[in-house]
Amino acid sequence: MEYRDYYKILGVARAATADEVKKSYRRLARKFHPDVSKEKDAEARFKEVQEAYEVLKDPEKRAAYDQLGSNWKSGEQFRPPPNWADGFEFRGGPRGGAGRQGGSGPRGSGYGSEDVFEEDSYSDFFSSLFGGGGSGPFAQQAGTRRRAGRDHHAGIEIDLQEAFAGTTRTLELKRPQVKSDGKLEVEPHTVRVTIPAGVTEGQPIRLAGQGEPGPGGGRAGDLYLEVHIRPDKLFQLEGRDVTLTLPVAPWEAALGGPVKVPTLAGTVEMNIPAGAQSGQKLRLRGRGLPGQQPGDQYVQLKVVLPPANSPEAKAVYEEMRRTLAFDPRVDLER
């Protein structure tokens, strides 16, 4: 695993005071927080910053980290020396066991990790030193007290078509397991999840009992997935409604008649009313995302002019000019 220079990540000197560490964390957290940041690698940077602060804000963890020495460089191959943390009073995993539990959330697999992004994770470096994966000396000991396991959270990205029809995703969960020596160890566990049809942007999904197992035989936590739907090439999604821009020829708009329209369920035939205008919206009821109240599909017409690139086409336009006496700017006259 690679060494992480937490002081460098937070941009503080090794002699920085707790107040300086806190100030630097606040500044960087504001800069890289995924909810507010515009930086392109905000999420990864924020996790780094948060992990560094997790160590440097805690005098015990900081002292243990400091005794590794100052000769290490970020990215250098690292293995913790034996008994490196002897003499420290171990108090549990990340955030004293009160916050997130690192290294035990879901990871994408099968469909590629870009589909599922883990919210709570610490680096292998952190986990090997301080637990959060269960193997370090700060790792939470198997609880003697019965309590409910923590919930886990992750985001999952799907296509609009998958939201419409439902889909299946494979997730690799990392579950802490109690070993015979009483310590927790993370074990991978693969599950397939069926995501029902009709899921909307940002909608939470609950997988009961797929969070952290409850220490001491307590109830397991739940796994919450938050769905994000990738932008679609054809349809724009708003709630359960979708909007499609449909190019039509001038005579189709003027004279009306049936046209073929793509929908999420396949192509349908729709009647355009005579005298339709560019920008006009027509509704296909119930053709949006399914649900108790299914969404609608809006079809926004866009009149496309044929090019006047041949003598025949030019003649048609000339004929229209002579015959129609049409002034599109009549409303501009005062």
Partner 1 sequence: MTDGADLLQAHLLDERDWIGATEICRVCRIELTAVVELTDLGVVSPRGYAPEEWQFPATALPRLRTVGRLMRDLGVNASGAALALELLEEQHDLQRRLRRLERLIHE
Cβ neighbors of 78 (< 8 A, separation 6 or more) are 1, 2, 3, 72, 125
Cβ neighbours of 198 (radius 10 Å) = 18
Based on CB atoms, which residue is closest to partner 1, 95 or 183?
95
Based on CB atoms, which residue is closest to partner 1, 141 or 203?
203
Q: Minimum distance between the CB of residue 42 and partner 1, rounded to whole angstroms?
A: 12
d(CA 139, CA 126): 11
Nearest Cα neighbor of 246 from 273, 282, 274, 275 is 282
Residue 278: both structure tokens together: 């560019």
Based on CB atoms, which residue is closest to partner 1, 64 or 199?
199
Q: What is the CA radius of gyration of the chain?
A: 29
Based on CB atoms, which residue is closest to partner 1, 109 or 135?
109
Based on CB atoms, which residue is closest to partner 1, 11 or 34?
34
Based on CB atoms, which residue is closest to partner 1, 85 or 173?
173
Cβ atoms 131, 137 nearer than 8 A: yes
Q: Minimum distance between the CB of residue 32 and partner 1, rounded to whole angstroms?
A: 10
Q: Minimum distance between the CB of residue 199 and partner 1, rounded to whole angstroms?
A: 6
Q: How far is CA 325 from CA 94, 277, 319, 322, in A?
A: 77, 18, 10, 7
Q: In the chain, helix, strand, coil percent, each to 5? A: 25, 25, 50
Cβ atoms 56, 21 nearer than 8 A: yes
Q: Minimum distance between the CB of residue 80 and partner 1, rounded to whole angstroms?
A: 28
Helix, strand or coil for residue 66? Answer: helix
Based on CB atoms, which residue is closest to partner 1, 204 or 306?
204
Residue 166: both structure tokens together: 């439902």
Q: Minimum distance between the CB of residue 300 and partner 1, rounded to whole angstroms?
A: 8
Based on CB atoms, which residue is closest to partner 1, 38 or 79?
38
Cβ atoms 193, 204 nearer than 8 A: no
Based on CB atoms, which residue is closest to partner 1, 85 or 122?
122
**H-state helical runs in the chain:** 6-10, 18-32, 42-56, 59-66, 124-130, 160-165, 250-255, 311-324
Q: Minimum distance between the CB of residue 68 and partner 1, rounded to whole angstroms?
A: 26
Q: Minimum distance between the CB of residue 159 and partner 1, rounded to whole angstroms?
A: 16
Nearest Cα neighbor of 229 from 198, 191, 274 is 198
Cβ neighbours of 316 (radius 10 Å) = 12
Q: Minimum distance between the CB of residue 76 and partner 1, rounded to whole angstroms?
A: 29
Q: Minimum distance between the CB of residue 7 and partner 1, rounded to whole angstroms?
A: 20
Which spans of this chain sit near partner 1 (rule: CB under 8 A)? 26, 29-30, 33, 35-36, 46, 50, 99-100, 110, 148, 151, 153, 168, 170, 190-196, 198-199, 202-208, 210, 222, 224-226, 231, 236, 238, 243, 245, 247, 291-292, 302
Residue 22: both structure tokens together: 């806190």
